[in-house]
Structure 1
Amino acid sequence: MLLHRFPQFDLVRSTLRAFWTIRQASLLSPSVALQCHQYIQYRCFGKSMWLRDSAFGSALCTSYTAPALERSRLFSGTGARTRRFLDVASRRPVKVGILGGSVSACHGVDVDSMGKSCYARRIVDWMRERLYNGKEDGVIASNGAIGGMDSSYYAFCGTHHVPQDVDLLILEFDVNDQPYLNYTIYFDQLLRIALEFPNEPAVLVVGAWGPQLSFDYGYMDPSVTHLPAVQYYDIPYISIKPLLYVHHLRYAHTVGETFWTKDYVHPNAAGHKVLGDLTIAYLEKQLCLLNHFGVLNETALGGGPTVRTLGSEPVNDTDSFELIRLPPTPELVHNRTDDGETTDVAYPLLPDPQERISTLRLATPYTVPPTIIGQALSELFSPWKPDAPLRTPPPPHPFCADANDEAHPLTPRTNTVVPTAGIVVEVAVAEGRVAVFYFRSETYSPGVAECWVDDNRKGAVKLHGHWNKKMNVPSVAYIDSLVTPGDHYVTCEVVDETANPSAEKPHHFRIIAIMAT
């Protein structure tokens, strides 16, 4: 009933229209289409900015409503890095990298990961047409996606699959990651490494949710592990899940066969179009913001023009990147003691009047937080002691030994099938953590292996290739976290234990990479 009363919220009908050949069916009223068109192309910060028309914006608005586009943005953030990327693209050719699993590899749609129906190709084609008047050499795309891989692999081995001089990096891991806290840590490491690439690229996370995920996790799929990280690093996150999840509950068969392949994991060509369109709509909005407001100011605290605030203190120009504007007078804070006495104490924003400012600021809108998302702050400082310079942990220096590492390649014996078979791999350790990336499946990997560092056989960690989930994907496991910095070696050996003694290869165990930080 509500959908009939409020047709602009009928996300399924508006989305399906993009793929039905009966184009004459009017699913959106002209007023709703205009609202969406203004939202994409003209409404920046709620103000009507009548910029030149966009054929892309018009096309999107014939298929999607403004609420649909808004809901697809799990996190928008400031858009600072995206706008800076678009600004760079106005002056020179750019490089775009894609990392992800089989969705980004375009499994089930095209053997070419950058085929015309693949979401990544749609985004790149938009950039070429919108920013470079159709010139293909304006955007150099590198798709490093590998089927079955998750963010834990790329957190260590990502530089093997995408150039480090990219200007934009697109990440897609909502299908292959798992909704557990450790994957937030892996995703955090991947984001930190990407943001510190030489060109300080913009990063865009896209979510290709599939119905099969809901069979295992309901709505609590891997996106719940990604959201804290994108919020922490101010990275936009676009997903098809908010548009289609509720409608999949009601029309599971229709929605499933319309947007996904038969496995209900991989989007079909229609699903790729939706994911590409939603991402393009976000980029259209950021381009609008850039054209009217420009990039966000990079003036750092303590530099640039100054103004007078609080009556005396000079600070940066008010165009600096502002988070929270505070009152220009000290706040009165009401305190109640344990014995019932009350006092009113005036607290300045900062203890030193010369440092007191009226705005909380970051050094720039592109600042990378100094600590990882899971850092226990008790290890760095005490709020009960005087302020002191922050003792920040060193940046991650990932090490990856896999088939793509010429210096430390894994041999064919990594696909082990009999007890006592094993490998020895040299690793370089910086922060002390060593991990094994191995294949897990309900059917194809019944073997068990033990892995350890150097001669610490007593500290070996047992890894099981079998699990009860329907998905066949790799998984990462730390085997040591207290290894001294320097060169070491890792040994992995198949043991006699198996999850399926009657299998054709009961001890089959597959290692993909040995990794360290």
Structure 2
Amino acid sequence: MFTGRRGTARLGVFLYLVVLAVTLYAAFGGSSLELKDGLRLSQLGKLTERDQWRAFPDVAGGAGAPPSTPPPPPPAPVAPVNICTAGPVGKRLCAEWGEAAVTRLVAYGGTNHRIRRALARMRAGKPFSMGTLGGSVSSGHGIRNQGNSRYAPSNLNVRLFSWLNATFPAPGGSAFEPAEKRDDVNVYVNGAEPARGSDYFSMCSSLHLPDEPDLVIIEVAINDQVGTHNLVPVELLIRQMLELPSQPGVLVFNVFGLMFEAIQTGGDLTMGVSQFYDVPTLSLRNAMLPLVPQNKSLILDWFNHENDHPDRETFKGVDLRHLGNIGHEIAGDMMVAYMELQVAEMDAIEAAAGPGWSIDSLYPAPALFPGLVTKKFDPALVPPGPLKPTCIATNSDKAPFEPKTQTGWRKWAWKDKKYLIADEPGAEFEFEVAVSHGTIILYYLRSREFGLGNLECDLVGEPHRRKVIKGYWDQKFNIGQSDRWDGLNPGTYNLKCTLLDQTDDPKGGKEFRLMALMTI
């Protein structure tokens, strides 16, 4: 029975079973040891091979399955949805620019809970409103032959709104910046303002957004110059958006320019703030600029140029600050592709949740961290409270920039940029302002091209608070900047400013351009 090679193998199996049976018998105290399906150890030798497998598969069969039953096939792999497969716009972008480029778009994704909350409300049939806070790119500078560039079909923000409106239509249709509020229409308000960054919008965002926005696009990467000075304004801006009663989805979209001292923008340095608050951030530069070494002419396609025959090597004649029509369309489609991805992932999340799910359970909006990430940690974890600044601005009809008294100052505009200006030394203005949290901020234009001079400002009764504010600087771009008075006691103050005869402008220019006054 146990002779030969096969007999030796059988003997080994037999001895293994005997030793195992004795061990189990001793361990469990008798022959009543039960195996699978109620079988006893004493019955094991009387079973068929198939029954032995059912009772004790690792011993009887050795391979974990009855010899006559093939193993079930593995489930077919399910490819996870991604930005290139989620929807038609993403598929088209990936086919045109490559999957690697479009994948690089997402600088930070996070949970996307806030974005998905907004989309879930839209899918439920609630008319929505969308707003943009940004600079001249979002304003549409660089778009040609499409009328009002703020609401031109190619404008990157309009392109996103048009997709949302087509995907989630409202009973009453849609409207751009409607004069009257209606509850049955989808609304888009382009609140972008040229030459303004996060230091402006962190104080004045309420002047430029629709009431109760459902989605807010923030585009300030270019106008926030490189440096750490924008960290606090960006944090205050993001917190304000997340604390709005309408609980909007917030998306940071960073465009890029190629006319500055560095390709890097202020948005690169402040992205850690948006990450901390779980705000998704997209980078057009990260997606597209790596394609340029293979084809330099792409820059001519993406950026605006009034000259029909710009230099294709040096790009002289190309406005490397503002995207052109094609660049805007690519940027807008990138945002659309990201929204397609969110909708596709929401389909899977909601299907897995089964019936009875709620927006709050699947896409929560937790309370903000009780403290500023740009400030020292406070073990008491006392929430800073909602920031409610006041702002008056030259480009606002809601809160116009009107001094209490003035001599020598006048309103002036260049295209869509509005200012209060003076160019005669001795011109004065005075504002009376209320301060609750200790800060007054004056916002003005700086430039090396426009012949700007110096302004001397006093807080009446506070002689040690005097400032000389300079309009000239040696930077290649013209943009709003701020000077501030901090550490003030709550109360009412008079801010009085006078245009000086002295100037830092090498050509002797003395003009000064005011843009806004803010207090906290």
- TM-score scaled by length of structure 2: 0.70
Q: How far apart, CA to CA, are the structure 2 residues paired with 1:250 and 1:453?
A: 57
Give a deviation string over 1:113-157, Cα, whole Å, max 9, x none: 111111111101111222239984352101111221212111111
Partner in structure 1 of residue 165 of structure 2: 128
Q: Secondary structure, in 3 states, of the residue corresponding to 2:138?
A: coil
1:243 paired to 2:276: no
Q: How far apart, CA to CA, are the structure 2 residues paired with 1:37 and 1:269?
A: 33
Partner in structure 1 of residue 268 of structure 2: 224
Q: Secondary structure, in 3 states, of the residue corresponding to 1:203?
A: strand
Give a deviation string over 1:472-510, Cα, whole Å, max 9, x none: 1111122x111112322222222222123644xx21111
Partner in structure 1 of residue 238 of structure 2: 191
Amino acid at match of 2:262: Y
Q: Secondary structure, in 3 states, of the residue corresponding to 2:319?
A: coil
What pairs with 1:92-131 in structure 2 (closer than 5 Å)? 92-109=126-143, 110=146, 111-131=148-168
Check the 8 A contact 1:170/1:203 in 2, yes or no.
yes
Partner in structure 2 of residue 290 of structure 1: 346
Q: How far apart, CA to CA, are the structure 1 residues paired with 2:441 and 2:204?
A: 12
**Distance change >3 Å, CA 69–CA 136, structure 1 → 2:** farther
Amino acid at match of 1:367: A
Q: How far apart are residue 295 of structure 1 and its match? A: 11
Q: How far apart are residue 251 of structure 1 and its match? A: 5.0
Q: How far apart are residue 258 of structure 1 and its match? A: 1.4
Amino acid at match of 2:375: Q
Q: How far apart are residue 391 of structure 1 and its match? A: 2.4
Give the aligned CA root-mean-square deviation in angstroms: 2.8
Check the 8 A contact 1:422/1:491 in 2, yes or no.
yes
Indicate the structure (1 or 2) with the bigger Cα radius of gyration: 2
Partner in structure 2 of residue 511 of structure 1: 514
1:399 paired to 2:390: yes
Q: How far apart, CA to CA, are the structure 2 residues paired with 1:295 and 1:509?
A: 60
1:429 paired to 2:462: no
**Distance change >3 Å, CA 496–CA 295, structure 1 → 2:** farther
Counterpart pick for 2:491 among 473, 486, 490? 486
Amino acid at match of 1:39: N
Partner in structure 2 of residue 315 of structure 1: none
1:39 paired to 2:100: no
Check the 8 A contact 2:391/2:399 in 1, yes or no.
no
Give a deviation string over 1:148-178, Cα, whole Å, max 9, x none: 1212111111111112410001111122111
Q: How far apart are residue 273 of structure 1 and its match? A: 1.3
User: Unaligned stretches of 5+ in structure 2?
Assistant: 1-77, 175-184, 305-317, 354-359, 404-408, 411-419
Point out the more displaced range, 397-406 or 83-92. 397-406
What pairs with 1:237-316 in structure 2 (closer than 5 Å)? 237-248=281-292, 252=296, 254-261=297-304, 262-294=318-350
Partner in structure 1 of residue 217 of structure 2: 170
Partner in structure 2 of residue 443 of structure 1: 449
Q: Secondary structure, in 3 states, of the residue corresponding to 1:132?
A: coil
Check the 8 A contact 1:419/1:494 in 2, yes or no.
yes
**Distance change >3 Å, CA 229–CA 472, structure 1 → 2:** same
Q: How far apart, CA to CA, are the structure 2 residues paired with 1:56 and 1:134?
A: 25
Q: Secondary structure, in 3 states, of the residue corresponding to 1:266?
A: strand
Q: How far apart, CA to CA, are the structure 1 residues paired with 2:488 and 2:351?
A: 44
Partner in structure 1 of residue 69 of structure 2: none
Counterpart pick for 1:65 among 98, 115, 128? 98
Partner in structure 2 of residue 74 of structure 1: 107
Give a deviation string over 1:261-290, Cα, whole Å, max 9, x none: 121000011111111111111111111111
Q: How far apart are residue 453 of structure 1 and its match? A: 2.5
How many residues end up aligned between the 2 structures? 395
Check the 8 A contact 1:441/1:466 in 2, yes or no.
yes
What pairs with 1:405-420 in structure 2 (closer than 5 Å)? 409-410=401-402, 412-413=409-410, 414-420=420-426
Q: How far apart are residue 402 of structure 1 and its match? A: 2.0
Q: Secondary structure, in 3 states, of the residue corresponding to 2:461?
A: coil
Q: How far apart, CA to CA, are the structure 2 residues paired with 1:61 and 1:251?
A: 17
Q: How far apart, CA to CA, are the structure 2 residues paired with 1:367 and 1:245?
A: 37
Q: How far apart are residue 294 of structure 1 and its match? A: 3.5
Q: How far apart, CA to CA, are the structure 2 residues paired with 1:432 and 1:210?
A: 36
**Distance change >3 Å, CA 296–CA 410, structure 1 → 2:** farther
Amino acid at match of 2:110: G
Q: How far apart are residue 445 of structure 1 and its match? A: 4.0
Q: Secondary structure, in 3 states, of the residue corresponding to 1:468?
A: coil
Q: How far apart, CA to CA, are the structure 1 residues paired with 2:79 and 2:454?
A: 54
Check the 8 A contact 1:80/1:295 in 2, yes or no.
no
Check the 8 A contact 1:179/1:222 in 2, yes or no.
yes
Residue identity (%): 26
Q: How far apart are residue 180 of structure 1 and its match? A: 1.5
Partner in structure 2 of residue 373 of structure 1: 373
